[in-house]
Structure formats: structure tokens, C-alpha cells
Amino acid sequence: MPAAPHLMSGFRDRLPGIVFGGDYNPEQWSPDVWREDVRLMREAGVTLVSLGVFAWSALEPSDGTFTFGWLDEVMDLLGENGIAVNLATPNAAPPPWLAHDHPDSLPVERDGTRIAVGGRGHFCPSSPEYRDRALRIARRLAERYADHRALAMWHVGNEYGYECCCDRCDGLFRGWLQERYGSLEELNNRWGTLFWSQRYGDWSQVHLPRPVRGRTNPAREVDFKRFGSELLLGLVTDERDLLRSITPDIPVTTNFLQFHPSLDYRRWARELDVVAYDSYPDPARPHTVSDASFQYDLMRGIGGGRPWMLMEQAAAGVSQWPLNLVKRPGRMRLWSYQAIAHGADAVMFFQWRASRYGQEKFHSAMLPHSGQRARSWQEVRDLGNELPKMRPVAGTTGAARVAVVWDWENWWAVEGCYHPRNDFSYREVVTRQYRALRDLRLGVDVVSPDEDLAGYRLLVVPNQYLITAAQRDALRAHVEAGGHVVISYFSGIVDEHDRVHPDGYPGGLRDIIGGQVLDMSPLADDDRVGVRGLGDTGPGASGPGATGEWSATATDWQDDLVAESAVPLATYTSGFLAGRPAILDHRLGGGRVVYLGTRLDDDSFAHLLRTVADQAGVSAVHPAPAGVEVAERLSDDRRYLFLLNHTEGPVMIQLERAGHDLLTGREHAEGESLTLPVAGVAVLSSPR
């Protein structure tokens, strides 16, 4: 369900515009430092801090003994200076006394190893002692600060995502399965336990996955991930309900991680008042900029199109990668505006002041060890003082006509065991196809295949190996209603229990693609096959109705396709499938499905998408040179065009419409050439 509107409207009344700030850990510092911190926060334009995320041992040094005095002083100091607080329930790092007094509150790895104290996330989510103490301190915080003027939000926990394989979790998993399937016979059927003599004769024989020879039953693995996601979500909703019972007008969130496979964030987002996300793109990784955009569009999508919060990012470098490159001059500002361009209404950091000790002492901060002389501090301060110019953008949304599918349950299944390719990366294939759409300057949403697809003219479905009946029906209805869909190979293969659909490959999509896959054949890493286009959907096409042959190179995979109600759009020209269809075109109702039986080279795939987008009536948000990111946010009467220069030099953009630049105050005329410097940003406001 979307957030209750009054919760976020009250928050926006208190914190209008783009929120700016970061994690604040005053328990690591003396009171004289707190006063200096607040002075510098005001200088930097900080409006919100996340407080107490890892403060449990400072707030409760022994079981039932609470020391809130220091937090009272910090809350008062922040409130007196007009800085709002996103107050955390500090359950992400339980204090040592909890593990000492209750050793079974610690989690257990699959191999039976019990995790020790010394890091974070060292809790079993089913431990009654952990759950009791976590709710107790949450209640104490809520009762103590319910009416405090600084309290603006609740931050439940931190970056959830750890699994536990203790005996208690094993029993809960068994109970979860009994409720889900009703009978042991049904469980055996759904898991296919007759294979390798895994059939269960009594519920006491059923356990969560532990190490086996080879790989575990893939259906059991997917169910264990579903269970783990729901178990951890229960911790969040229990605290959320408690907090709402005491502070009903204060919104509640928790922070999500980038490309995190353990939790179904789409399901989690329904339980939160606002989506919050921690972004740490690796500057050393190829395509890190477009990967960040994908995650931002995903956060906007799982929140139902509502603005979301960039809860954490790094001011300069991080400390968790093998090589921790710092953000070069201007890139922190540029990447912050990138998040805003894709729907963020908050720009926040981990953390405010760099720690002197601990595992993350070399993680950059808004205020680094070198203090106010540091370039990173000066850039943080300047950004905080510039962001008030973005106030008109806050609360606005997007209006994309193109969507790409991302599905956690499919992620869990498609990277499961013993497939034609066992080096498959769902993240890589989805972000590659997303990147191709973004390179066409199209506005893109990231969606689930079983949600409302009515507003999209073009839907891209990358390798949807697992497809449910509901997803299949939604996809078919979308096409019949006039949607254009591009589906990649290894899609529609299994149901939600990882059982192969009947009626041949791809049984879950065969009538939708209008063809059958007789066999699925991966290609060796250095193999290439030729592909020749036969019609109007390829690199040689120039628009709707265009004809002519075209050629491409394909890698990774080749389906042996048979066209049934579809027609071939391309054939293989080399390899043992030479002459066989490689791409199918199926007209279904008022729409169209293009099925790719192979992986086209990047240029050919981009041209194919461009042609299908043209035929679907979808145009670019705004033309721009390569390396310039384009995005748009909309209010009822205004549009805000973001132009972000990720290249290594200045670029020139010819404007298709007039606009007022919120950052410079300049008016730009239609047809004018706008020059963006290196790492430059323009945000142009114009009437809708």
C-alpha cells in the first residue's frame, strides 16, 4: 500500500525542498565537538540528520539500564538549531551484553558456525530475546521523544539482509512451509522431491538449506529466500506498528542496499511511508553511472512513483571495495543531482564526521579527518547551500512511457543451479538492456511484470526465466491492449516453484511470443554467430514501415526457434543453426512482441530498441550527446529537465524548448546552444 498521505505531507511541511544531511554519530565524540558539529551543519545547510543508528550500547550499556541523557542533549541541540532528526531504532548492532547473556541470539551460518560479536548484523531474527529487547528500546525512544520538536522521521534498523540457519529459524521455516502449502504432499509436489529421492514422509524431515554435495534443491532455495525476506520484514513491521501507536504522525522508513539479492524490496516498500536507499557506486567499475540510475529508477518504481530518499552516499571515497577511488572534483555534486533527477527528494551521506576508529574510519564523511580545508568538505558545503534552489522540484514525479522488468523472485531462480549457463548474472543482463534504453535518452521506469503496465508503450523483459500465471496474464493483457514488448531468451521457462512449464520452451510465454524454442544452446565465451535481419526491426531500419536487410553479431546464447503464429525477423547466418530464426515478431491483439533468441551486439541491440520504440510512438526526453544523461520530473503544470554531463570535457546541447535554469537563474531560449562544463548540471523548468 502507498504511504498514508498525511504522514509524508506533514514531513514535507517541516522539511520543504530537497532534504540535505547525513548519519550523525555523536556518541563517538565529546559534547564540545557536538556544538562545533551543529555550527558547521548550519554552515553547510544541513536540514536532517539520521541519529542513533549504531548507538544501542551507548543507550543501554547493560540489560535494562538506559542512559538517554546524552541523546537528550543532542536532540535539544539539534532542535534549537533548526536541524530535524531521523531517529533510528538501533537494532542493527546489538550490544555485547545481549550475546553474552543470550548466546542463541547470535545468528548461525549454513555450515553451523555461530557468528560472534565484533561487526554488525549479529542477531538471529527469530530470537525472542533479540526481538524483545529491540522492541523495548524502540518503545523507550518513542515514548521519550514523541513530542520533541526535532523528531521528523523514524529510521528502523539499518541495511537489513542477513540470514540465519539456527534450529529456531529452521522450525519457523518449516511452519512457514506448512502454512504456505497446507500438506506435505503439496510441498513434495511443488518442490519436485521425487528427483534424487528427496521425497519427505514427515514434516520433521523438512529443513532449511544447509551444505550438501553439489547444489541444493532449487525450489527449496527460492522458498528459503522468500521466507527470509518475510522474516526480516516482520522485524520492521513490528517496530513500525509500535512506533505508529505512539507517534502516529511521524513517517517510518528503513534503508535499502544497492543490488541486494536477499530481500524483495518491492514487497518491503509497500510497508514503508517512504523508500530510502544507500548508494555507493564504485568509480572503478564499468557502467557505474548507469547502474546508479537503474537503482534510482528502481527505488522510484517500488515506491509507486513517489519521491524517495537518498539516505546514504559517500562524500569522496568508501572503504569496502578492493580499490577505493575517490570522487573526482565535481562528481559528488553531479552524482547527487543524478539521484534527484531520478526522483530523490533527499541527498544524504554516511556520515557527518569521519570516525577516528573502527572498521570504517577511512570511509569518507561530510566533514573529513582533514577538516574544513578538504576539497570534499567544501563541495559538501557548497552543495548544501545550492540545494534550496531545487525546492520547486521536491514532490514531483516522472511520467515514463518505457519500462524494464526487474523481479527479485526471478533473480533468485535464474541464478540457481545447473542451468545451460551457470555464470549467468541477472544484474548484468538487466542493466545492459536498461543502459541501452537510457542511451536512447528515453525515460525509463523499473517495474514488476505483474503490476499495472497500462501506461507503458514499450516494455523490455530481460531473461524472465521464472514467470507466474499472474505475470503471464498481465503481460498478455498488456500486449493485447496495444503494448510493444521486447523479450529476451531464457524467459518463460519455469513457474514460481522452479518447475519447467509444460508444452515445450518457453511454456510460460509460448503463445505470447508466437513460437517454440526447440533447444537452448549457450555459446562459448569466444564464439560468435552472424545474424541477418529480414524486415523492419533492426539496425538497417529507419522508422515505422522501413524495410531492408541488416546484419549483426550475436554471443552468449542461441535458441533453436520455430515460428508458429509469429514471423521471423532475423535468422542465424553461421553456426549449426544457420538459416534458422534468431528473432521472432508476433502481432497479438493491438500490440506486438519481439522475441530475441540470442544476445545481439550492443550497437545492433540499441538500434533494434530504437526502431521498436519509434514504432511504439515513444520519443526521447531530449536529445543530448553521448555521456550526457537526460531525465525529467513533472509537476501538474511544470516540467523539469535534467542535463548531467558525465563526460571528461565540456559539451554543447541544442535546446528543443525554452527553459529557466533553477541553478543559474538564466533563461534559455528554444534552439539555443547550452554548454555544460565537465561534471556540469542544468535543471531547466518549463511549462507542461
Going from the C-alpha of 142 to that of each of 147, 161, 340, 470, the distances in angstroms are 9, 25, 31, 41
The one-letter amino acid at 145 = Y
Rounded Cα distance, 598 and 479, in Å? 22
Query: Active site includes 27?
Result: no
160, 90 Cβ separation under 8 angstroms? no
Rounded Cα distance, 577 and 563, in Å? 14
Rounded Cα distance, 293 and 392, in Å? 22
533, 570 Cβ separation under 8 angstroms? yes
Of 310, 371, 352, give the one whose Cα is nearest residue 27. Answer: 352
| Three-state SS at 131 | helix
Rounded Cα distance, 367 and 39, in Å? 12
Query: Active site includes 179?
Result: no
Terminal-to-terminal C-alpha distance of the chain: 29
Pairing relationship of beta strands 567-572 and 581-588 according to DSSP bridges: antiparallel
Q: Which helix (H) or strand (E) holds 334?
A: helix 331-341
Task: Calculate the dihedral angle through the C-alpha atoms of 316, 320, 324, 326, rounding to the nearest 10 degrees.
Answer: -10
Pairing relationship of beta strands 151-156 and 252-253 according to DSSP bridges: parallel
Rounded Cα distance, 85 and 32, in Å? 20
Non-local (6+) Cβ contacts of 596 within 8 A are 486, 487, 488, 489, 582, 583, 608
Place of cell 519457523: 172
Rounded Cα distance, 87 and 101, in Å? 27
Rounded Cα distance, 167 and 160, in Å? 21
Beta strand spans in 280-420 (E): 308-312, 344-349, 402-405
Q: Which long-range contacts (CB under 8 A, 24 or more apart) does 27-31 make?
A: 27/52, 27/55, 27/58, 27/70, 28/353, 28/355, 28/356, 29/353, 31/70, 31/73
Among 159, 271, 360, 564, the active-site one is 159
Among 129, 163, 239, 312, the active-site one is 312
Rounded Cα distance, 15 and 166, in Å? 43
Cell of 619: 520519443
| Three-state SS at 681 | strand
Residue 301, by phi and psi: left (phi above 0), alpha (psi -120 to 50) or beta?
Answer: alpha
Rounded Cα distance, 30 and 70, in Å? 10
**Any idea which residues carry the catalytic annotation?**
159, 312
